[in-house]
């Protein structure tokens, strides 16, 4: 079964840190570009960050640049998001998503995890 | 950054009717890398359409996408009860940021 399973969410005070993980199974993880997408309670989807297939290239939304670091370990089929200097406005469900990619063509965010909740509050 | 504007914000229709959802981009979407997602309460989004008009694996043929450049449309030909949900468009070129529209809520009339 194709699956992404996030973990590591929780409650943290402003200024704190959390590390999210996303474990992949049932597909060739190393062939997919990977993304983090978040959704604040009752709001829409917001793209956060992405990594290419080997993790050599990453990109971030302006709202998290310099505070969040995305990485991946293809040997462990796992994606990470290190979140530092957390703010109240970072409160959201965080989804990892896999983007199909082949021979320079992108297929959209085909695979999604179930999400993990991050709450930043004093 | 490409801004995507979806309309209408809410669409009220009955099962069996045709739904037409719009997504307009602030600038041309490269290679028509425009996707549509469905999201139900408490669930992760599900990819419906990629590259503006290609159905994702397992998506029923009542869902279709069209458009190019800056104007895109998702059409559901005959609404089933399970189709009532939130719908988001997204541009996913490899030049970040990958932006989403604000969503259209499709509700039962």
pLDDT, tens only, A74-103: 999 999 999 999 999 999 999 999 999 888
Residue B45 DSSP one-character state: -
pLDDT, tens only, A48-82: 999 999 999 999 999 999 999 999 999 999 999 99
- What is the rounded average pLDDT of the residues A32-43? 97
More confident residue, A47 or B1: A47
Distance CA(B95)–CA(B39), nearest Å, equals: 25
Nearest CA in chain B to A94: B44
CA nearest neighbour of A7 among A121, A105, A95, A110: A95
Query: Mutation test of the interface with chain A: which of B92, B99, B101, choosing the one with the most A Cβ atoms within 10 A?
Result: B92
- Is A112's Cβ below 8 Å from some Cβ in B? yes
- For residue A104, the model assigns a pLDDT of 84
Residue B87 DSSP one-character state: E
- The answer to whether the CB of A1 falls within 8 A of the CB of A25 is yes
Q: How confident is the model at residue B3 (pLDDT cuts 50, 70, 90)?
A: very high
Mean pLDDT over the full length of chain A: 96
């Amino acid at each position: 079964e194709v699956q992404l399973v996030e973990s590591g969410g929780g409650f943290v005070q402003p200024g704190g840190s959390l590390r999210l993980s996303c474990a992949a199974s049932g597909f060739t993880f190393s062939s997919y570009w990977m993304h983090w997408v978040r959704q604040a309670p009752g709001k829409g989807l917001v793209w956060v960050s992405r990594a290419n297939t080997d993790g050599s290239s990453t990109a971030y939304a302006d709202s998290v640049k310099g505070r969040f670091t995305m990485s991946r370990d293809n040997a462990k089929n796992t994606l990470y998001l290190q979140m530092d200097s957390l703010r109240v406005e970072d409160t959201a469900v965080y989804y990892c998503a896999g983007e199909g990619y082949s021979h320079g063509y992108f297929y959209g965010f085909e695979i999604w995890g179930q999400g993990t909740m991050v709450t930043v509050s004093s | 950054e490409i801004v995507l504007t979806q309309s209408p914000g809410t669409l009220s229709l009955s099962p069996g009717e045709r739904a037409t959802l719009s997504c307009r981009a602030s600038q041309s979407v490269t290679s028509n890398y425009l996707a549509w997602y469905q999201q139900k309460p408490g669930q992760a989004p599900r990819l419906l359409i990629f590259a503006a008009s290609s159905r994702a694996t397992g998506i029923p043929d009542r869902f279709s996408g069209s458009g190019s450049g800056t104007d895109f449309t998702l059409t559901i030909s005959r609404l089933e009860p399970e189709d009532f949900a939130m719908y988001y468009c997204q541009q996913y070129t490899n030049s970040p940021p990958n932006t989403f529209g604000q969503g259209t809520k499709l509700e039962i009339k």
